[in-house]
Amino acid sequence: MIIVIDYGSGNLRSVAKALETTGATVRITGQPQDLAHASHLVLPGVGAFADCRRNLETADLIPPILDHVRAGKPFLGICVGMQLLFSEGHEFGIHPGLDLIRGQVVRFSNRMPDPNQTGSALKVPHMGWNRLRLTGSHPLWNRIADGTHGYFVHSYHVQADDPHTVAAWSDHGIAFPAAIAKENLFGTQFHPEKSQEAGLQLLRNFVEWRP
């Protein structure tokens, strides 16, 4: 049973539909008691870090999420869902994350030079297709080649205290973590549900993953 967590943020249905193409049984729910029945949890996210964190807390979803992670079950965070795994987010102040991975979530600078247009700055938010530079092997990279493109929509990026937790890098003026991995946790800054065949392959790998 794959559960997509409904906490009032994220394109839940598109994530669930992409997971369903793998043949998995998928359920969208925001009921804390339901999460205990999940073999795999998926936390999507769209919007502000602080609002997403507050929604999780208000819905009493943090304890069952932590129970799932501590039990060693597979967990996938997507976009803000990945960012929430970190210690804190710096958006309109400093706000606590789940602190499952040490690090911060910070905004891209508005002053990053555009290498394709002299005198221009890169746009924020970062939107579109970017190359993934995989840092090594991982079960979720099975049948996904280094240099594959993912689809991104974000103004903030993570800074991991431990670089060994970075599973892939990408670039937007600076190098930033495009994916993270730690034990039974995996996170993508890009949207696998919008990343065509490579994204669907990652979701297939996640469904098959047994850490």
pLDDT value of position 114 = 73
Q: Which of 40, 91, 126, 193 is catalytic?
A: 193
The answer on pLDDT for 31 being more than 90 is: yes
* Residue 166 CA: distances (Å) to CA of 12, 78, 112, 116: 25, 14, 22, 27
Q: pTM of the full predicted structure?
A: 0.95
pLDDT value of position 193 = 95
Q: What is the DSSP letter of 161?
A: S
Percent of the chain with pLDDT over 70: 99
Residue 110: pLDDT band (50, 70, 90) is confident
Query: CB–CB of 2/24 below 8 Å?
Result: yes
DSSP-assigned states of every residue in 53-85: HHHHHHTT-HHHHHHHHHTT--EEEETHHHHTT
Check if 191 is active-site. Answer: yes
- For residue 33, give the CATH number of its domain: 3.40.50.880
Domain range enclosing 14: 2-208
60: tokens are 């009493």
Check if 193 is active-site. Answer: yes
112: tokens are 């990053």
Q: Give the chain's domain count.
A: 1
Percent of the chain with pLDDT over 90: 84
Q: Which of 126, 157, 172, 191 is catalytic?
A: 191
pLDDT value of position 187 = 98
Query: CB–CB of 52/87 below 8 Å?
Result: no
Q: Which of 40, 52, 68, 79 is catalytic?
A: 79
Query: CB–CB of 207/20 below 8 Å?
Result: no
Check if 79 is active-site. Answer: yes
Average pLDDT over all residues of the chain: 94
Distance CA 100, CA 24 (A): 26
